[in-house]
Amino acid sequence: EADIYQTPRYLVIGTGKKITLECSQTMGHDKMYWYQQDPGMELHLIHYSYGVNSTEKGDLSSESTVSRIRTEHFPLTLESARPSHTSQYLCASSEPRTVSYNEQFFGPGTRLTVL
């Protein structure tokens, strides 16, 4: 069973607030990812990391930022939340491609609503 956790599960917040979405995994995976999932279900990669001190922007431009100071922790921060940030955010991790073919393990997600 994969062990990847996200908190909070649900967050309702006002415009202009700073928020941090937490993601932690206990599997020792070097690679971690953040996806934004729109109401139409489609997944968009917004950030990824291949290890400590490594962060890259994904395929969809996002105003959020991420950090990777510890292997197990990959938080996502929005400095000033806006209604356009309302979405479901999913965190994932994976082993090296040579081990598991890039199979990703997903957390339960954080549903963010910005009023």
Partner 1 sequence: GDSVTQMEGPVTLSEEAFLTINCTYTATGYPSLFWYVQYPGEGLQLLLKATKADDKGSNKGFEATYRKETTSFHLEKGSVQVSDSAVYFCALSDQNTDKLIFGTGTRLQVFP
Tokens coding 18: 């700073």
CB burial of residue 71 (10 Å; 0-12, 13-18, 19+) = middle
DSSP 85: G
**Is residue 54 involved in binding partner 1 (CB under 8 A)?**
no
Closest Cα to residue 111, out of 91, 88, 84, 90?
88
**Is residue 32 involved in binding partner 1 (CB under 8 A)?**
no
Q: Which stretch binds partner 1 (CB under 8 A): 11-19, 64-72, 75-83, 92-100?
A: 92-100
Whole-number Å distance between alpha carbons of 58 and 95: 18
| Cα separations in angstroms, 100 against 29, 91, 96, 103, 105 | 11, 18, 6, 6, 11
Selected from 14, 28, 39, 41, the binder of partner 1 by CB under 8 A is: 41
Q: Which stretch binds partner 1 (CB under 8 A): 12-20, 60-68, 76-84, 93-101?
A: 93-101
Give whichever of 42 and 79 is closer to partner 1, judged by the CB atom.
Answer: 42
Q: Whole-number minimum distance, CB 14 to partner 1, in Å? A: 24
**Is residue 55 involved in binding partner 1 (CB under 8 A)?**
no
Residues engaged in binding partner 1 (CB under 8 A)? 6, 31, 33, 40-43, 45, 48, 50, 90, 92, 94, 97, 101-109
